[in-house]
């Protein structure tokens, strides 16, 4: 599959190009607008937590419906900010085999981390979706929104899930990513929209944002409820 990659040339290799996630969502919406504004049989799927403001901005800017896809990275033991793969609600595991080998993770260490993530996945699905079914994506175009790619394995898991559920076209929409991750994801989707692509050995999603912090579950729930997403309980905190 030959994927088209869209970026903002003036943002290449720059840091702090977005004020915050809301600003990044607007930039993405402007990029996508000529192709997907009010498009038929099209929806936006955001990846909580950080992808929710991005997805909201894209959905609002394009007048498209928004929904969620719950996928979690599998954290490196002792370093929860780093991940060596991703796990879906369907139980599919996607491992960065090169990193697993480099870290010399044992099968038990891998399985222990997966078990922890499974519990978190179910909890997040209950909190954010409250039992609402996954949207029908058969023969539809799906815009996959997150606040950035790091290794790309979380997005890879999302793409494989949505493809298996019958989506006819998948577009990845993220504000920032390392070039290597764009090249990793681009062969399995139709298009990638990423205004801030960076080269070099070191990469952090946070470096694209002047104002960056981890969203709490209550913040995500509040944003979703304000946008009219299916009503959920606001009694959970991080």
Q: What is the pLDDT of residues 155-168, one digit of tens each?
A: 999 999 999 999 99
Highest average pLDDT, of 12-21, 87-96, 104-113, comes from 12-21
Mean pLDDT of 197-209: 95
Q: Is residue 122 part of a domain?
A: no
Q: Is residue 109 part of a domain?
A: no
CB-count exposure of residue 113 (10 Å: 0-12, 13-18, 19+)? buried
Q: Is residue 117 part of a domain?
A: no
Q: What is the CA radius of gyration of the chain?
A: 17
Q: Is residue 40 part of a domain?
A: yes
Give the DSSP H or E segment for 44. strand 42-46
CATH number reported for the structural domain that contains residue 189 in this entry: 3.40.50.2020
> How far is the C-alpha of 85 from the C-alpha of 41, rounded, in Å?
31
pTM for the whole thing?
0.89
Binned at pLDDT 50, 70 and 90, residue 64 comes out as very high
Q: Is residue 198 part of a domain?
A: yes
Interior CA angle at 151 toward 207 and 212, to 5°? 25
> What is the total count of domains within the chain?
1
The mean predicted confidence, pLDDT, of the chain is: 91
Ranges of beta strands (E only) in 61-216 are 66-68, 71-76, 79-88, 93-95, 141-145, 169-173, 176-178, 191-193, 196-198
Q: Is residue 162 part of a domain?
A: yes
Q: Is residue 93 part of a domain?
A: no
Mean pLDDT of 36-57: 96
Q: Is residue 231 part of a domain?
A: no
- Residue 197: domain span: 4-69+135-226
Binned at pLDDT 50, 70 and 90, residue 193 comes out as very high
State whether the Cα torsion 47-136-194-4 is positive or negative.
Answer: positive
């Amino acid at each position: 599959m030959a994927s088209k990659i869209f970026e903002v040339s003036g943002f290449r290799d720059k840091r702090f190009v977005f004020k915050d996630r809301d600003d990044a969502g607007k930039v993405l919406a402007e990029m996508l607008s000529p192709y997907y504004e009010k498009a038929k049989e099209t929806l936006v799927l955001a990846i909580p937590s950080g992808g929710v403001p991005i997805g909201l901005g894209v959905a609002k800017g394009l007048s498209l419906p928004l929904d969620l896809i719950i996928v979690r990275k599998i954290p490196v033991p002792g370093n929860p900010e780093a991940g060596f793969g991703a796990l879906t609600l369907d139980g599919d595991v996607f491992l960065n085999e090169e990193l697993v080998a480099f870290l010399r993770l044992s099968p038990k260490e891998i399985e222990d981390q997966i078990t922890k993530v499974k519990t978190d996945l179910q909890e997040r699905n209950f909190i954010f979706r409250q039992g609402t079914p996954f949207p029908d994506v058969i023969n539809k175009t799906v815009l996959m929104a997150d606040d950035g790619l790091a290794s790309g394995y979380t997005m890879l898991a999302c793409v494989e899930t949505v493809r298996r559920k019958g989506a006819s076209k998948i577009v990845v929409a993220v504000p920032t990513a390392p070039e290597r991750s764009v090249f990793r994801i681009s062969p399995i989707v139709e298009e990638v929209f990423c205004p801030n692509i960076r080269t070099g050995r070191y990469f952090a999603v946070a470096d694209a944002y002047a104002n960056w912090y981890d969203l709490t579950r209550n913040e995500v729930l509040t944003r979703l409820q304000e946008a009219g997403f299916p009503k959920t309980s606001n009694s959970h905190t991080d």
